[in-house]
Amino acid sequence: MAAPPTSSAFDLELRASDGVVLRGRVHEPAGDRNIAGTIVLAHALAARKSAFERPKGSGLAEFFAARDFRTVSFDFRGHGESAAAAAPWDSYDAFVQRDLPSVVAAATDRADGAPVFVLGHSMGGHAALAAVAAGYMKCDGLFLVAPDFWLPRAERRPSRALLKRGVAHVAAALAGRAGRLPFRALGFGSDDESATFAATLNANARGAGWTSRDGTIDYDAALGTVRTPVFSLVSATDRFFSPPSAVRRFLAPVGGPLRIEEVRRSDDGGLPPGHSALVTSEGARSWFALGIGWLAKNVP
């Protein structure tokens, strides 16, 4: 006899604060179980919301639903099923200032007083941190998975810093010619990124500062104002995109409760999952349970 389903799912459509249509997917605990909280899932660069449903039938969305959490995954503008926007609002600032705050506000409206957390992978993680730091978004906790954004202050290994600058420069040049960073054609991910995002990454790696595109908001300088509890998960095998040592320095200015855990071994005893596989495999699920439990205990 087949096991009963642990979750039910339905599609969601909402508008960002500037009217851009965002599409998402909600997973809820099956049956009449009480909702322990809501987790908004923000995807990585070159990805889309479906990353949280991998492996099929047992992705993170289902994992949390089985533990009585509602999850809301969504595609950032220009990704997956969400609409694109005209420049300059096809940029990183739109993710930080418009998309994530709109989704979190919608999730909060139907949370019935239960806590609302944001789990962001890579780009989704540092965008969520920036949104809280700059005052665009409020939530009860941040779960940041491999969130390094290549700031020079966080990378102390000269060879790796040079490589990051080189990769960011090439990406920006390629995006400038093609109009977008063609990750799909390069076989790197499921979605392309905008030229403006590539320019932001390049500016970060060169040391121009983690700021809004117009320079009026310094996301990095605002980290000290963050009082929202932050749990971060990194992998010992993630040696380029989000090295554990760089993440520790990146998050050091956060002003509130902060816990960083490094996965050194997979749940099955093998090597720890890498940058993408932290989310898309089942190799670190015990750490996700630990992280969400820690956040639940530290709700302000």
Instruction: Please say if the pLDDT value at position 14 is more than 50.
Output: yes
- Region 133-156 average pLDDT: 97
What's the CATH code of the domain at 84?
A: 3.40.50.1820
Segments forming the whole domain that contains residue 221: 7-156+216-297
What pLDDT is attached to residue 1?
Answer: 39
For 161-189, the pLDDT digits (tens) are 999 999 999 999 999 999 999 999 988 89
Residue 103 maps to a domain: yes
The answer to whether 82 and 76 have CB atoms below 8 angstroms apart is: yes
Model confidence at 86, in pLDDT bands (50, 70, 90)? confident
Which tokens is 33 given?
Answer: 């179980």
**Rounded Cα gap, residues 74 and 161, in angstroms:** 32
Residue 2 maps to a domain: no
Model confidence at 2, in pLDDT bands (50, 70, 90)? very low
Residue 178 maps to a domain: no
Model confidence at 7, in pLDDT bands (50, 70, 90)? confident
**Rounded Cα gap, residues 92 and 99, in angstroms:** 10
The answer to whether 219 and 133 have CB atoms below 8 angstroms apart is: yes
**Lowest-confidence pick of 3-7, 66-70, 235-239:** 3-7
**Rounded Cα gap, residues 193 and 238, in angstroms:** 22
Number of domains in the chain: 1
What pLDDT is attached to residue 34?
Answer: 87
Model confidence at 6, in pLDDT bands (50, 70, 90)? low
What are residue 230's DSSP bridge partners?
142, 258
Residue 188 maps to a domain: no
The answer to whether 246 and 154 have CB atoms below 8 angstroms apart is: yes
Residue 61 maps to a domain: yes
Residue 204 maps to a domain: no
Residue 175 maps to a domain: no
**Rounded Cα gap, residues 38 and 16, in angstroms:** 19
Single pTM value for the model: 0.96
Total number of residues shown for the chain: 300
Residue 41 maps to a domain: yes
